[in-house]
Amino acid sequence: MERIIISPGKYIQGPDAIGNLAQYVEKIGSHPLVLADETVQQIVVEPVSQSFSALNMSYSIETFCGECSRPEIERLTDLCRSGGHDIVIGIGGGKTLDTAKATAFYHNVPVVIVPTLASTDAPTSALSVIYTPEGEFSEYLLLPSNPNMVIMDTNIVAGAPVRLLVAGMGDALSTYFEARANSISGGQTMAGGVPTASALALAKLCYETLLADGLKAKISAINHLSSTALDNVIEANTYLSGIGFESGGLAAAHAVHNGLTHVEEFHHLYHGEKVAFGTLVLLVLENAPMDEIQTVLNFCKEVGLPTNLHQMGMKELDNEKLLRVAEASCAEGETIHNMPFPVTPSAVLSAIYSAHTLGL
C-alpha cells in the first residue's frame, strides 16, 4: 500500500490573525459567505467587518443554526448559489466548521476554516461529521481534499474556556501513540494509505510539545493571555495532531473513546477527555514500559485530564457497563484493529481496569 500524507493548503496562526482575514481570502475568492453562530458573531463581527471593508470586498455573514445536518447544509448551499458566493468561511467550533466544509464541497468552492477553540484536531481534516437536525449522529462525509486554509487567532483561543484547551491536549495526546501503532501494523489511515515517516515525526513532535509546554499553556489560558507555550500547544492541538491523526492513523485510544460513549456516566465529558483515558488503555494494551505510562499519567494529572473512571463520573465500577465499553471498542471496523496485535473485548476490559487503577 502507498504511503500518503494530506494537509490543508495553508496554515496560519498568530495573535489577531482574524484581522487579516480578507487579505488571505482575496487570493482564493472575491465574494465570501461567512458562517458563524450568534455567540461567535459577537466576538468576531467587528474585526471581520473591518478586514473586508479595508479591501472593499463584498461578503455576507450567515448565522449557523447549531447543527451540522443535511437540511442546514442544503440551506447554506442554496444560499451560496443564489448569492453568487465563490468561497465559504467557517468561524467557530467543530459543527460550524464541519458545516462550512460540507457546504463548500457541495457548492464546489474553496473553504477557509477559522477555529475559535483549540479543543480538537478536526479543523485541518478532510472530514465532516453529519448529524440529524435533532443532534443524533448520522454519517461521516469524507471530503476529497483538506481545507484550503486554516487560520488560528491565538488571542481568541486564549479567551476561550480553559477546559476546552485541556480537552484538546487530551485529543492530541493520543496522536503519537496511535500513529506509532499504525506504523508497526501497517494499518490504513484516513488519508488512504499507510503512515508516512513525516506524519509519524509530526505526531511525535506533537507529544513532545505537550509535555514541554502543556502546563505553561494552561496557565496562560487561565489568565486569558497569549504566550509562546500557548502558541506551541495550539499548534500541537490543531495542526500537528490534525496531520498526525489523519495521515498517521487512529488506533485503540479513539476506539475506547467510542466505546465510552455507550455509557451515560461519561456523556458529560469532552471528546479529548475520553481520548486521554483511551490513551492510557492503549498503553496498557501494548504493555508499554512503566516509565512511559507514568509520564503520560503525570502529564494528565498536571494539566487536569482524567486518569481514572471515578474522575470521569463512574462512582462505583460497573463490570457490565465496562464490558459494554470494551465490546463497542472492538466492534467490526473500529480503529482498535489497527493495533499491531489481535485485540479482544476481554483484553480491553482488563486494560480499562488496569488503566483506572494506575490512574488513581
Active site residue 271: yes
CA 298 vs. chain centroid, Å, equals 22
Cell 442544503 locates to: 74
* Residues 326, 259 contacting (CB under 8 angstroms): yes
Active site residue 257: yes
CA-CA-CA-CA torsion sign (176, 177, 179, 180): positive
Rounded Cα gap, residues 103 and 99, in angstroms = 6
Q: Please give the single-letter amino acid code of residue 355.
A: A
User: Exactly one of 85, 98, 153, 254 is catalytic; which is it?
Assistant: 254
* Residues 249, 187 contacting (CB under 8 angstroms): yes
CA-CA-CA-CA torsion sign (247, 244, 144, 130): positive
User: Exactly one of 98, 121, 153, 171 is catalytic; which is it?
Assistant: 171
User: Exactly one of 107, 121, 231, 257 is catalytic; which is it?
Assistant: 257
Alpha-helix runs per DSSP H in 121-270: 154-158, 162-185, 197-222, 228-235, 241-248, 252-260
Question: What would the 3-class secondary structure string for 84-100 be?
Answer: CCCEEEEEECHHHHHHH
Active site residue 171: yes
Rounded Cα gap, residues 326 and 82, in angstroms = 49
* Residues 238, 123 contacting (CB under 8 angstroms): yes
Q: Would you state the cell numbers that stand for residue 90, as one nine-digit string?
A: 467557517
User: Exactly one of 85, 107, 271, 356 is catalytic; which is it?
Assistant: 271
Q: Please give the single-letter amino acid code of residue 335.
A: T
> Would you please indicate which residues are annotated as catalytic (active-site) residues?
171, 254, 257, 271
